[in-house]
Amino acid sequence: MTSPALARQTKCRSRRLRGLLHANRGSALVETAFSASLLIVMLIGMMEMTLALYAYLFVSDAAREATRYAIVRGSTSCVNTPNLPGCDASAADIQNYLQTLGYPALMAGNLTSTTTWLTVSSGPPATWSSCTSGTCNAPGNLVEVTVQYAFPLSIPFVPASTLTLSSTSEMVIAQ
C-alpha cells in the first residue's frame, strides 16, 4: 500500500508536470515579436507610399515647368526675345531642361518626358489633332508634355519593384 504522503507527492509531481507541459510563458514573446515585425513592415510600407506621393507632387510640378519652358520657347521666341537661352525648343531640349530642374526627391536619371505638339483642327469648340507637318511649335498651337518617373519601391518582405508615376500638362504656345 501507498502512504498518503507518497500519494500527495505523486499528485504534486503530476500537477507540476502538467503545468510545465501547458505553460504559456514563451508564447507572449513569440506573439509580440510577430506583431511587432508586422507593425514595422506596415509602417515602412506607409512611409514608402508617402514618399511616392511626395515624388508624384514633384513629377506633377516638373510636367508644368517643362510645359512652361516649351510655350515660351516656340518657333518665334528667337525673334521676339533675342537673348532668350534655348529658343525654338525641341523635344530633346525640353527633356534636357527637365533633367536640370534638380528636384530633391527625384533622381534625374529616372525622369523622362514625351512632348507632343497639337494644332487646331476645327472649332468652335476647338478640337486638337497631332501636328504632323510644318512648324509644330508655332504660337497658337498646343504643347503637351508627359513626364514619367520610375519610383523605386522597397518594402521589407515584398519583392522590390518600380512604381511608374506620370503627369501630363498642356498649354498653348505663346511665342
pLDDT digits (tens, 9 = 90+) for 143-159: 999 999 999 988 888 88
Q: For the whole model, what pTM was predicted?
A: 0.76
DSSP 49-100: HHHHHHHHHHHHHHHHHHHHHHHHSSTTHHHH-TT-TT-S--HHHHHHHHHT
Spatial distance between the Cα atoms of 15 and 166, rounded to a whole number of angstroms: 67
pLDDT at 18: 67
Question: How high is the mean pLDDT of the chain?
Answer: 86
pLDDT digits (tens, 9 = 90+) for 9-39: 777 777 776 665 566 667 778 888 899 999 9
